[in-house]
Each structure stands twice: as C-alpha cells, then as structure tokens.
C-alpha cells in the first residue's frame, strides 16, 4: 500500500464539495486485499479494531459536542444519550459476545440427510459501504461500522453532507484510527454517493428515506450486492382508555420531541381514546411546559430543545403544519416557527383532516397530530391501510387489546407501554418491513447482516446417499418409494 492513501479526509467540514473520485477508486481497490486477508482475522483482532474506534471517538468527545451544537443546536446530554452512549453500548455488547457469535453453529441433520453433520460458518461479506443519514450522524454511522468490523469487513463510509461539522469530526477519527485500506470515510454530496453506489461492493448498509432506499437497492441490484435498508415511515401510537396517561404523556413527549422529532422511530401520529383525550392532552401540555418552558419565548430560548437541521427542512415541516391548519386542524400547543433559526416549537395539533399533507408523509419534525378514536378495530384498519411502519407503539393495560394490536398489524418493531427504546435493545432485531426497511441491525443481528451464513456439510461413515446412485435397481426403487411414503406421513 503506497503512503499517499494514508490520509483520506475529504473535504473537511464543507458538506458541499465532492470527494476525489480517483482517490475513492484507489481506496476501493485497496480494500479488496484487506477483505481477503480479514477472512482469517481472529476474535481478538476484530475486538482490537472496535476498541480503536471506541477510543478514537472518546478522544474527540469535546469536538463532537461542539460540532453537534453547531449543526443542530443539540444539547450535550442529548449527544451523550442518543449518539455516544448507544455507540459505546453497541461496542461493549459486541466485544462481550463476539467470540460466541463467530463460532460455527452446529445443526442437526434432517431425516433425508442422516449420516452427515452440518454447521453454519459466518464469513465476512467483503467490501462494505455504509451510508448514514444526518439525524443521528454518529450513532447511525459508527453503530453499523462496529457490526461490520465484528464480522471482519473493510468499509467505506459516506456521512450526510447536511451535518458537515459532525462529519468532519468523524472523518478525523477514522483517518487517525484506521488505514484507508481498512476503513475510509468520504465526505461529499450527491456525486460522491452516486460514484460509491456505482462500485461493486459486497454489501451496502443504508439508513435513510424509503425513496432513496429504492435508489440504493436498484444500484445494488446491478452488482447483485446484498443490502440492509433501515428506512422509516409514519410510526403510529395508540393510547387507549386503560393506559397510564401520566406515564404515556411523559414518555411520548420525550420520544416525539427528542432531536426535534427528527428520529426515524419517533411517534409520528397518535390515536387516543375519546374518553381520555382531553386528560391526555392536558398531561402532554404540562410535560412540555415543565421541560421546555410555559411560554413561547421560554421554549424558543430553551437549551434543552434541539433545532431542525436546516432551513429547507424547517420550511418543509412548517409547510405541513400550515397546510393542516389551513384545512381545519387546531393547534393545541406550540405552533411557533422561526425559519431563520431553524426552530419549530414542540407542537400538538388535533382535528386534522385525512387529506392534509401531514397525514400522508413522514413528519420528521416536532409536530404531533392527535386523533380521537372509539373503536380499536377502526384504528387497526387505518394502520393496515398504510405502508408498514418502522415502529408501532401501543399504550394499554388491557391484554386483549394489546394482543389484538400485535396480532392484526405489521411493523418493523413494537413497544408496549413504551416508545423508541427497542432501538437500544442489543438482543432484539432492529429493522423495518417492506417500505420501512429490509434486514436487521444491532447486536448479533448486525453481525449477521455483515456476514455470509455459509452452510458446511461433512460426510460421515454412514453414506445414505448411495441409495440414489445408479443403476436404479428394483430394490433401490422399493427403498426410495418407502422413504417418500414415510416422509409424507
């Protein structure tokens, strides 16, 4: 490997320029030798790489705090709680379990394959591409990277250009911790993404919108590359008449307005039983006043509320809110917008007509539509009439209602009397279904996403396949006929 490849930081912090395409190709080619060599990598070698990433991130902790504040106005505690700590947890969980995950898994023979032994061997997929979004730029980049390293793969990383300062810090971390033939990060905009997607990677891990996910899947199909697509959708939340309204309000207001609603598994819209709707809304208003201030000015100046990523997205979300109000929606709390500061107040609305734009697209911002209901069957029918969401949340103390919702709906994940925390559960698969995603991440599921599960069969002394060898005698035919009849029972 020639030395000019040792510094791959492109172009630091601008978020607008595209990467050096020649260098990108050179790095991509250099990772093929690494991919072949890393097939033989040991548990300790893979753990050492994860530890290097972890330590490199912690060395840049203060720089990350500053970058998140500049890109998002994101409080330090939110950076810890939603970016750094989940990444540390993913690393710790992976390090603790990797030896077990890497071991071949023995499987029992089926009745037809008696006389053979079988096992599943986990092989690295090869050169991998990870494309991360802007809403949680650190965690959604380094989390999958930990899984890829655990599985033994070299990686090229592409962060979002919409969080340029955080991307620049991540670029410094990667350049210091890894050689580019191991892991490289390329900043840039559309052209950088297009050039990377045109390359024959062995696996692509993409987090983003369903619309872009389709583009990524089409690009991967040209090379028959495998994909993991972590997408999104309008995650519904249900609060029935038996729910603990105080706990529901406290938790849903956290889940919805964390990161200013810019979370793929945030409660997108809420169904609350008419008999408790007014009480629930009152609880929600009290929570918002306690956390962010009781006046519009206090909320605007709150140091605990993240802003929208940029003016374009502020305009998009405020446009959804304005359209809903124009069509008859009522603002219950919030509603203030300062586009220059990329600020939208934590907002609750109700009486939203079905034809409002906010009911047809993922909000991805700090506005929560609240709809009353009287029939859980009608709520289930409405959920099933839409694309399958990434998450679904149900608040109830009635087990038959909970079971009915779980049995009759489909979503990537579910929380009962909670929201969003399933994302942090390392022993649960995290992923979508159909429009909300393909494949899973986190823990062993992330390890498997970046691994090829190779079936290995070994013959023993009992070679039962001989009965199928020519010549096909009458005696052998009788044995095969008996076998087919036995298997059909």
Q: Which residues are catalytic?
A: 230, 264
- Give the SS3 label for residue 414: strand
Dihedral sign of CA atoms 323, 325, 331, 334 in order: positive
8-state DSSP, 195 = H
Neighbours of 85 (CB within 10 A): 13
Residues 6+ apart with CB under 8 A from 482: none
Q: Select from 14, 293, 41 the least CA-distant residue to 152.
A: 41
Residue 263, sorted as left (phi over 0), alpha (psi -120 to 50) or beta, turns out to be beta
Task: Calculate ∠ Cα 216-219-220, nearest 5°.
Answer: 85
- Give the SS3 label for residue 33: helix
Q: Select from 330, 372, 410 the least CA-distant residue to 239.
A: 372
Q: Which helix (H) or strand (E) holds 251?
A: helix 245-257
Measured distance CA(431)–CA(434) in Å, rounded: 10
Backbone φ and ψ of 308, nearest 5° = -70, 150
DSSP-assigned letters across all residues of 311-336: HHHHHHHHHHHHHHHHTT-EEEE---
Cβ 253 vs Cβ 286: under 8 Å: no
Neighbours of 200 (CB within 10 A): 13
Measured distance CA(115)–CA(418) in Å, rounded: 49
Cβ 414 vs Cβ 392: under 8 Å: yes
Measured distance CA(294)–CA(280) in Å, rounded: 17
């Amino acid at each position: 490997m020639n030395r000019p490849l040792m510094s791959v930081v492109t172009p630091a912090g601008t978020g607008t320029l595209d990467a050096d395409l020649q260098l990108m190709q050179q790095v991509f080619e250099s990772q093929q030798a690494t991919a072949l060599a890393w097939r033989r990598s040991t548990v300790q070698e893979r753990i050492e790489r994860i530890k290097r990433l972890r330590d490199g991130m912690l060395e840049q902790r203060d720089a990350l705090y500053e970058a998140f504040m500049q890109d998002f106005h994101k409080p330090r505690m939110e950076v810890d709680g939603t970016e750094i700590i989940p990444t540390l947890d993913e690393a710790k969980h992976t390090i603790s379990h990797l030896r077990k995950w890497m071991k071949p898994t023995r499987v029992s023979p089926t009745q037809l394959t008696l006389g053979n032994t079988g096992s599943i061997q986990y092989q690295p997929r090869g050169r991998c591409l990870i494309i991360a979004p802007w809403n949680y730029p650190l965690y959604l980049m380094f989390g999958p990277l930990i899984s890829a390293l655990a599985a033994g793969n070299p990686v090229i990383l592409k962060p979002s250009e919409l969080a340029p300062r955080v991307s620049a810090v991540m670029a410094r971390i990667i350049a210091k911790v890894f050689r580019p033939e191991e892991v490289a990060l390329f900043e840039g905009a559309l052209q950088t993404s297009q050039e990377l997607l045109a390359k024959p990677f062995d696996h692509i891990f993409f987090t983003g919108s369903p619309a872009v996910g389709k583009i990524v899947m089409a690009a991967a199909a040209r090379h028959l590359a495998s994909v993991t697509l972590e997408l999104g959708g309008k995650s519904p939340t249900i609060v029935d008449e038996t729910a603990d309204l105080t706990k529901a309000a406290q938790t849903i207001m956290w889940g919805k307005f964390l990161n200013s609603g810019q979370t793929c598994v945030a409660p997108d819209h809420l169904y609350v039983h008419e008999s408790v709707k007014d009480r629930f809304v009152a609880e929600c208003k009290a929570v918002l006043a306690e956390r962010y201030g009781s006046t519009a000015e206090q909320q605007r100046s709150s140091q605990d509320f993240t802003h929208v990523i940029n003016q374009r997205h502020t305009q998009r979300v405020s446009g959804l809110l304005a359209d809903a109000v124009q069509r008859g929606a009522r603002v219950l709390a919030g509603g203030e917008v300062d586009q220059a500061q990329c600020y939208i107040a934590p907002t609750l609305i109700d009486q939203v007509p079905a034809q409002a734009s906010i009911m047809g697209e993922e909000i991805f911002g700090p506005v929560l539509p609240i709809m009353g209901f009287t029939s859980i069957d009608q709520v289930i029918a409405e959920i099933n009439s839409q694309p399958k969401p990434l998450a679904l949340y149900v608040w109830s103390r009635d087990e038959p209602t909970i079971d009915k919702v779980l049995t009759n709906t489909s979503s990537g994940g579910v929380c009962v009397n909670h929201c969003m925390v399933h994302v942090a559960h390392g022993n649960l698969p995290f992923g979508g279904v159909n429009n909300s995603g393909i494949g899973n991440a986190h823990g062993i599921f992330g390890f498997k996403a970046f691994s090829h599960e190779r079936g290995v069969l070994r013959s023993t002394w009992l070679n039962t396949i001989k009965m199928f060898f020519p010549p096909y005698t009458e005696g052998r035919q009788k044995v095969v006929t008996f076998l087919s009849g036995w298997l059909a029972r």
